[in-house]
A and B are shown apart, each in its own frame.
Chain A
Amino acid sequence: MTSISNNQAPRSRRRIDGWRWTGRIFLVLMLMYTALPMIWMLLTSIKSGFAAMQFPPQWWPSEPTLASYQKLLDPQNSVGQDFLRFFWNSLFVSVCTTVLAVFVAVPAAYAFSRFTFPGRQFLFFAVLLRNMFPAVIFLVPLFILMRVLGLVNTHGSLILTYLTFGLPLAIWLLKGFYDNIPIQLEQAARIDGATRFQAFLLIVMPLSVPGIIATAIYSFIGAWNEYIYAATFITKNEQLTLPVGIQRFFSENTTDFPGLMAASFMMSVPVVVLFLLLQRYFVRALTEGAVKH
């Protein structure tokens, strides 16, 4: 017995190790796929304009410089003033979009999850209708609408537009989450004297925090990165958001690569930090609706 057991154990371990190593190699490749562009972006941002154009490339800058970052973060020069203003504009639009998206999506999703009312199914699928078309086909109609509403060149036009994109998925995401919160918990609260709103606020909301956070991240990232509507609706320099604003590094015949990379790196920082801090909620929310308890 003992000898058989001893013979089998190493074989079993070798097989498991093989899979493990395959998995590790795969993960390393995936990590490289996602991280290398960021690393290259960072390296390019600390090169001089001439060094950034060299071929073969300087894998590590021979004369590293923080000049691009100093230029971007210096409120005394025009580049810094513009960049900081674009950054603030993006932050404002993204936060407003996120807050409004959560504010609307939470009760809407709860209603779709808990209530039966005429047209419920139709309305539920209707909210998705907007997302069934390429965004670009709404560009001119929405521009004309915003013009009629007097919202061209205001952040309100962007917030409204981003909501129309983000809300359907947010509602779907949250509804799946609410479906998995046992209704008995609310019933118990009602029996104990809570109103429906109190049951929602004190029982359901805390349990749905991961879903709400995932919805918020989704809305924030969507608004933060959006380009085409911002480029169309906003023409005033003072109102531009970052994705449009960083175009200033492209010219007709040349590109300021270090400046572009520094601006892009700084633009990606809030999203990366947000995602790293809250990713477990995001993953949980995305998988929660997939399994019925």
Chain B
Amino acid sequence: MRNYQLGRALAHGAVVSALAVSLMTTSVLGQSVDISKWSPEYVRSIAGTEEFDTAEACGSVTPLDYEGKLTFWYQGVFEGDPDLLRQYYKDFFETFRATYPNIELEEQALTYNDLLDKFRTALLGNAGPMMVRLQILGGVEFASKGYLQELSPEDVGWKTEDFWPGAMKSVMWEGKAYGIPTNNETMAFIWNADIFERAGLDPEKPPATWDDVVAYSKQIHDNLGIAGYGLVARKNAGNTPYRFMPQLWGYGGGVFDEARENPSYQAIELNSPESKRALQASYDMYVRDQSVPVSALTNQQADNQPLFLAGQVAMMISHPSDYNVMLDLQAKATGGDAEKAQAVIDNMRYGQIPTGPDGRRAVVFGGSNIHILNPEYVDGGEVDEQAAKAMVCFWTSPEWSLKMAYAGSNPGNLNGFKTKWMKERLETIKFLDVTTSMLPYGVPFPALPETPEIMNIIIPDMLQNALTGAMTVDEAAEDAAEKVRNVTSGEGL
């Protein structure tokens, strides 16, 4: 496992990232976090420099002997996730119960793709939990419908400036905060050096631009008969926008102007020439070159990961946890399988996500937020606010926002970077340098109630319409732009 020449990549990207950096450093909510300084070197310099006492901090919000009851839904970790992360989740709930022995906690882990739908159904029946941790996409939708209580970091003893401005945007509705970020992440680009070499490519050099991705993918497919790029185009799956939007933004397109400084989300740009060019790149790979998995239309990341690990896909946008998953698989394999798994690990390379033709690099600024519901939508009609704040404080503390994001993400609370666990993490998960170096290029999803529909339905629909030949690239982009117009004007899809 080696990282791409990081220093060179950072220097190369510094100029072109200025726009994105300025987006992230603007004073959202009157705060100022200079993300441009968040280089791997900076992160390494602050790791392990401070200690935090979670119980003491949260005890000042909710007394440790407080008696209460709490129901809580969250996107959980399950059998396929890295063992390390599952252990931290287990430790978290045990520690919370030990710290607040008189709070009766009923927690329920739900899977990534089910959480939003299940939560919506429960809300329709006024049977929601008292609090919920949702994907970053969900906060504004539910806040705008009145389901969530106002909640800001100050309510649980933290400061707003301790959280990423882009992440805070995702919990803001009409100038008020309705949640707190728990973790935030930017993905990176992963490739198989052995496949690159066999296909006649430099094994240590990832594609620099999205046009290169198309060309590399074709070369790999033509020479080796396997898929070059791990395209993801499944409907109603969060994985699809996380993989397509960096491409769309890289080419200079967007749903609105979300990739620009101070976005207004007014003008729809899905049908701009830049957006069409991004869609054309996917079309070229899937239809013209047939250099991506034929199952891309139904694939999500969990389907591409086995293909990558089996050497059937050469490169893809990757969640940071893939490396830990592979380490787990290797540790559990025996005999010849263990050797093969080690070979896969040795051939894994991480680098920055490619740029568009004009050097623009972008990645989705993802993560999750934690929210407290309004009582009328909760099963039983009551919310134990003190108990809920104890849980919010605990999860968003420097210690636990780091530990709960240990293998795959970054802490929502920036002080998490200063803990000893971050130092330990940097020593054991080497590619963290790469994902950290993507932070300045992070673009938050549009902070609109309709964003889940746009990202999970309209964007995948556009891809599918173009890739299946149901529409031309032009028609698919125009159709998607029209749907965005309808959705945002209240007419529905």
Question: Whole-angstrom distance from the CB of B182 to the nearest CB of chain A?
Answer: 14
Q: Are B125 and A152 in contact (CB under 8 A)?
A: yes
Q: For the complex formed, measure the closest distance between the CB of B137 and the CB atoms of chain A, giving whole angstroms.
A: 13
Q: Convert B437-479 into 0s and 1s, putting 1 for each residue whose CB lies closer than 8 angstroms to a CB of A.
A: 0000000000000000000000000000000000000000000
A250 with B328, Cβ < 8 A, contacts A50-B341, A235-B118 known:
no
- The verdict on B427 contacting chain A, using a C-beta distance below 8 Å, is no
User: Taking the complex as formed, is A139 at the interface, i.e. its CB lies under 8 A from any CB of chain B?
Assistant: yes
- Secondary structure class of chain B's binding surface, majority of residues: helix
Q: Is the CB of B80 within 8 A of A63?
A: no
**B-contacting 9-mer, from A209-217, A251-259, A278-286:** A251-259
Known contacts A55-B310, A235-B118, A251 near B78 by CB under 8 Å: yes
**Interface-central residue, B90, B111, B118, by most chain A CB under 10 Å:** B111
What residues on B are CB-neighbors of A55 within 8 Å?
Answer: 307, 310-312
Q: Which B residues are CB-close (under 8 A) to A231?
A: 114, 118
Among B340-369, those with CB < 8 Å from A are 340-341, 344
Distance in Å from the Cβ of B73 to the closest Cβ of chain A?
A: 7
Q: Which secondary structure dominates where chain A touches chain B?
A: helix
Q: Is A232 an interface residue (CB 8 A)?
A: yes
B333/A152 in contact, CB under 8 A: no
Q: How far is the CA of A78 from the CA of B77 in the complex (A)?
A: 13
Contact call A250/B330, Cβ cutoff below 8 A: no
A67 touches B332 (CB 8 A): yes
Q: In the complex the two chains form, what is the Cα distance from A139 to B121 in whole Å?
A: 9
User: Quick one: closest B residue to A238, CB to CB?
Assistant: B106
CB distance from A70 to the nearest CB of B (A): 13
Q: Which residues of A contact B170 (CB under 8 A)?
A: none
A3 within 8 A of B: no
Cα distance, A237 to B332, chains bound together (Å): 27
The answer to the question of A131 belonging to the interface, with a C-beta cut-off of 8 Å to chain B, is no
Per the bound structure, the CA–CA distance linking A257 and B238 in Å amounts to 21
Within 8 Å CB of B109, what residues of A? 237, 248
Given contacts A53-B306, A55-B307, contact A253 B121 (CB under 8 A): no
Chain B: number of interface residues, binned into ranges: 35 or more
Quick one: which of B42-91 are within 8 Å of A by CB? 73, 75-81, 90
Are A147 and B335 in contact, with the CB atoms below 8 A? Answer: no
Interface set, chain B 293-339, CB cutoff 8 A to A:
301-303, 305-307, 309-312, 319, 321-322, 325, 328-330, 332-338
Flag whether B379 is at the interface (Cβ < 8 A).
yes
Residues of A within 8 A of B111 (CB): 247-248, 250-252
Distance (whole angstroms) from the CB of B218 to the closest CB of chain A? 21
- A62-B337, A252-B302 known; A48 and B332 CB under 8 Å? yes
List residues of chain B with CB within 8 A of the CB of A200: none
Residues of A within 8 A of B90 (CB): 78
Contacts of B125 in A (CB 8 A): 140, 143-144, 146-147, 152
Bound-state Cα–Cα, A236 to B124, Å: 18
Task: Closest B residue to A56 by CB, please name it.
Answer: B310
Q: What's the Cα separation between A139 and B90 when bound, in Å?
A: 33
Q: Mark A226-241, 1 if CB is under 8 A from B, else 0.
A: 0000011001110000
CB distance from B348 to the nearest CB of A (A): 14
CA distance A63 to B333 in the complex (A): 8
How distant is the Cα of A249 from the Cα of B238 in the complex, in angstroms? 18
Give, as a whole number of angstroms, the nearest-CB distance from A16 to chain B: 45
Is the beta-carbon distance between A50 and B340 smaller than 8 angstroms? yes
Closest residue to A145 on the B side, CB-wise? Answer: B125
Count chain A residues whose beta carbon lies closer than 8 angstroms to a beta carbon of B. 38
Contacts of B126 in A (CB 8 A): 147
User: Knowing A48-B334, A232-B118 touch, does A250 contact B302 (C-beta < 8 A)?
Assistant: yes
Would you call B429 an interface residue if the criterion is a C-beta within 8 Å of the partner chain's C-beta atoms?
no
Chain A contacts for B325, CB-based, 8 A: 253-254
Determine the residue in chain A with the shortest Cβ distance to B334: A63
- Within 130-158 of A, Cβ neighbours of B (below 8 Å) are at 139-140, 143-144, 146-147, 152
Residues from chain B with a CB closer than 8 A to the CB of A144 are 124-125
Is there contact, CB below 8 Å, between A54 and B310? yes
- Nearest B-chain residue to A251, judged by Cβ: B80
C-alpha gap A250/B338 in the complex (Å): 23
Q: Which of B108, B124, B322, B333 contacts A50 (CB 8 A)?
A: B333
CA distance in complex: A237, B127 (Å): 16
Contact indicator A235/B319 (Cβ below 8 Å): no
Some 29 contacts from A to B, beta carbons below 8 A apart, are: A48-B329, A50-B332, A50-B333, A50-B338, A50-B341, A53-B309, A62-B335, A63-B334, A63-B337, A67-B332, A78-B90, A139-B121, A143-B125, A144-B125, A231-B114, A235-B108, A236-B106, A237-B108, A248-B79, A248-B109, A250-B111, A251-B81, A251-B302, A252-B111, A253-B239, A253-B319, A254-B301, A255-B80, A255-B303
- Listed in ascending order, the chain B residues whose CB lies under 8 Å from chain A are 73, 75-81, 90, 106, 108-109, 111-114, 118, 121-122, 124-127, 129, 238-239, 301-303, 305-307, 309-312, 319, 321-322, 325, 328-330, 332-338, 340-341, 344, 379, 408
The 10 closest A-B pairs by CB, nearest first: A53-B306, A252-B112, A254-B80, A256-B79, A55-B310, A251-B80, A256-B80, A50-B329, A147-B125, A50-B333
Which residues on A are within 8 Å of B, measured CB to CB?
48-55, 62-63, 65, 67, 78-79, 139-140, 143-144, 146-147, 152, 231-232, 235-237, 247-257, 259
